[in-house]
Amino acid sequence: MATLLLLALALSMDAFAVSVARGAIGDGGWRSAIRLGLSFGLAQGSMPLLGWLLGTTFADRLAAVDHWIAFVLLAILGTRMIREGVSPSDMAVDQRRSLSLLGLVVASVATSIDAAVAGMSLPFLGQPVLVACLVIGGVTAFVCMLGVMIGARVGVGMGRRAEVAGGIVLIGIGMRILVDHVGS
């Protein structure tokens, strides 16, 4: 369960960064926090199911190398998150546009693509897939609500550091999967 919680936290960092930015530009009320939390949580919780379905569909063909695939995908996602967290672009400028309903849906799906990819690794966590999806969605919703409130108080820099930390955690989970399966 600890690995699942770490995965959920790592996957939520993109959405957390967006939430912090929204709070930092003055969109930091409870209403906005709940709206972003629910939207990002729903997307983040449902996308791993899609990834899991794709992974299990091709499981027979991938059984010999599935741990390598999980490692590579999580390492790529983690590296991307680290790169985005340290890039010089100003997240607040990107987030100044008002998040309409369509904008919120697009942002929610865009920040949860990595969760679909990570969903392929869910069988390695030893938790029921639906439980994993609920945990990932719930953690994301909570983290995003918190992110909006934090952003209203401290600004965008916190979101960048969280994204880097999330990337490191994803790479670590990928390494753990690889070590567990190569070593056995």
pTM: 0.72
What is the rounded distance in angstroms from the CA atom of residue 14 to the CA atom of residue 12? Answer: 6
The pLDDT score that the predictor gives to residue 90 is 52
The pLDDT score that the predictor gives to residue 41 is 97
The pLDDT score that the predictor gives to residue 155 is 67
The pLDDT score that the predictor gives to residue 97 is 45
User: What is the number of other CB atoms lying within 10 angstroms of the CB of residue 146?
Assistant: 16
| Length of the chain counted residue by residue | 184
Average pLDDT, 10 consecutive residues per value, the chain (184 residues): 91 85 76 93 94 82 75 80 75 49 79 83 85 96 94 74 77 82 74
The pLDDT score that the predictor gives to residue 35 is 92
- The domain spans of the chain are 2-182
If we measure between CA atoms, which residue out of 4, 15, 6, 1 comes closest to residue 151?
Answer: 15
